[in-house]
Amino acid sequence: MQDMPSLPGRRIVLGITGGIAAYKTPELVRLLHARGALVRVVLSHSARQFVTAGALAAVGAQVVDDRGPGMVHIELARWADAILIAPATAHLLSRLAAGAADDLLTTACLATEAPLCVAPAMNRVMWRHAATRANCALLAERAVVFIGPAEGPQACGEDGPGRMTEPCEIVAALERLWAAHGSLQGVRAVVTAGATYEALDPARGFTNRSTGKMGYALAAALADQGASVTLVSGPTALAPPPGVRIMAVTSAAQMRDAVMACREEMDVFVGAAAVADYRPQTVLARKLKKTADALTITFVRNPDILAEVAALTPPPFTVGFAAETGDLESQARAKRARKGIDLMVANPIDEEGVGFAHDDNRVLLIDKDRTVAWAAAPKTEVARALVREIIKRLPRTAPP
């Protein structure tokens, strides 16, 4: 049996700057790729003297430059789970320390909230120089993670500290970084996702347009932070995220039972499912025939899963979604208070390109004190940002 990849779906921006050690970066990309990471590469101008975009692409990297449309640096900064610069030259370290923003790599470094790792590579005297020391101290203070450098023979013929750490050790350092960054280690999260289906007869039923994308992205983002995640999912066409326990359900009543079965093991509850508020009072055993000119169906209320979870003692940290038309904020704020939940994520469903069945979402984040509006972004990014907000608010975890 094959081992589980150690960096499954990790999104790594690899910045390569102009040191001779750049010739080792195709091997670094190959190792990252083999461990399940997704790698986008930014090459500095001088790095191109040592390694080609073609070699990096051949081993699985996507080479990015800033010639495309839009704000590539922002897109890259948001996409990244980590930025790794290897090799990082003395010049690059000085520019990072100064907050330079004059090329794609440095602007992405400034614009990201992801961890920044550097694997320095330079002559030993340059490494020990007071200017480099001061730059490194400043960067370390800003939580930049230093991987190396190693000691040994150098390309310049000298021997000492300044060799780039070997690719396999850089990969091991990243694996450790994520193990340490999993701020939700030991936290048990339950997420509901997708639509429910309320049967009327063996052939027909009532459902809605939810695809489950938001809930699945949240389950993945929680698992990425080390939470143990149970995803209670209505019928969807989505593949379950790796490492997440899935409980497949159809109706709201089944979803409620599955969630309540986890009640003793739930530190965080995220209700991202579009649960039907009503179900047909009677589920017919045989297919309904079209005999009458008009048809009246009586619906009865479904259990409100989110409200029921929020009323548990002690309650888990609860997050709900409010998909609304019309005045988003006031409706969602009232709903948050009524259901007694910690955090309400409100999104409009009457806007072009966001919400139901779209890849993007534009949300308002509402807690008891305030409302914060986020710009429209891919659901995967909204999910990661939401998980950061959950982490901030959980009493026993520290921000990643």
Interface positions with ligand C5P (CB under 6 A)? 192, 252, 271, 273, 275, 277, 302-306, 320-322, 335
At closest approach, how far in Å is the CB of 184 from ligand C5P? 20
At closest approach, how far in Å is the CB of 201 from ligand C5P? 22
At closest approach, how far in Å is the CB of 397 from ligand C5P? 22
Q: What SS3 class is residue 139?
A: helix
C-alpha closest to that of 20 among 158, 172, 133, 174: 158
Tell me the C-alpha distance between 337 and 220, whole Å. 28
Question: Smaller CB distance to ligand C5P: residue 36 or 303?
Answer: 303
Question: Smaller CB distance to ligand C5P: residue 224 or 304?
Answer: 304
Vertex 215 angle, CA 214 and 218, to 5°: 90
At closest approach, how far in Å is the CB of 374 from ligand C5P? 17
C-alpha closest to that of 84 among 141, 151, 25, 30: 25
Question: Smaller CB distance to ligand C5P: residue 161 or 303?
Answer: 303
Spatial contact of 345 and 319, defined as CB atoms under 8 Å apart: yes
Question: Smaller CB distance to ligand C5P: residue 41 or 306?
Answer: 306
For residue 260, CA distances in Å to 243, 296, 306, 310, 344 come to: 21, 33, 11, 12, 21
The single residue of 117, 156, 168, 262 carrying the catalytic annotation is 156
Q: What SS3 class is residue 166?
A: coil
Neighbouring C-beta atoms of residue 97, cutoff 10 Å: 19
At closest approach, how far in Å is the CB of 316 from ligand C5P? 13
Question: Smaller CB distance to ligand C5P: residue 46 or 371?
Answer: 371
Q: Is 117 a catalytic residue?
A: no
C-alpha closest to that of 36 among 65, 2, 64, 63: 2
Q: Which residues are catalytic?
A: 156
